[in-house]
Amino acid sequence: MTARIGYQTLLYDRVSDSDDQAIADSAERLDGNDPLFADLLTRAQRGDEAALEQLIRDYQRRVGRMVVTLIGDDADWQDLCQQIFVKMVHGLPRLKSLKVFEPWLFRIVRNACYDHLRHRRSRRYLVAWEDWHDSVAAEPPSMENESASAALARAIAQLPDDQRELITLMRDRQWSYESLARITGDSLAAIKSRLFRARQRLRHLMAAKESEDE
């Protein structure tokens, strides 16, 4: 089944488009509560190839955004995205509740990224953010806020790994604390504390950048 699904084409055919409507559409779906999306998940779980391909199309940009943000400028990021979707396809039949599909998928993304980073032992820190990442891992800026968006992306890249992870997830959609805990495996208290520190640190970095520009 998986061999006939065109992962490579599906994953990258629109990754550099300026239109991020695909991200907005999929982020609005709340854990399978959309009847049409629930039907898509059900068919995908049963192995329907067309449904699986559509599911990959729906999530390719959101997954790509998170991968690039977490692992940085790494030549393997496309292969990593492909591996994530292969894991999704193989694991979907075993998912007991489709209502937790999104937290389950992004936990796969998170774990795959951290496994990749653990294998990249020769470098302790992620490389600096590059402008080309904005097309994958950041919201497309309008002309008037392009500089602000690039500055925000670079500030996020300077956060510690665990804080960058949460900020990246919250930029994707407004996850509940419970969903964030399910994705990361941390307690609610730890999530609230880490997200508070991440936002505080991000504000500090942005304020420092503004001071430099004055």
Domain-wise residue ranges, the chain: 2-213
pLDDT the model gives residue 118: 81
pLDDT digits (tens, 9 = 90+) for 42-95: 999 999 999 999 999 989 989 988 898 888 766 788 889 999 999 999 999 999
CA 171, CA 168: separation in Å to the nearest integer? 5
Q: Tell me, what DSSP letter sits at residue 120?
A: -
Tally the C-alpha atoms within 13 A of residue 105's C-alpha that lie toward its C-beta. Answer: 28
CA 19, CA 104: separation in Å to the nearest integer? 26
CATH architecture of the domain covering 2-213: Orthogonal Bundle (1.10)
Q: Which of 173, 166, 155 is nearest to 196 (CA)?
A: 166
pLDDT the model gives residue 74: 65
- What is the SS3 assignment for 141? coil
pLDDT the model gives residue 54: 92
pLDDT beneath 50: ranges in the chain: 1-22, 24, 30-31, 122-144, 146
135 CB-contact burial (10 Å; exposed 0-12 / middle 13-18 / buried 19+): middle
Tally the C-alpha atoms within 13 A of residue 56's C-alpha that lie toward its C-beta. Answer: 26
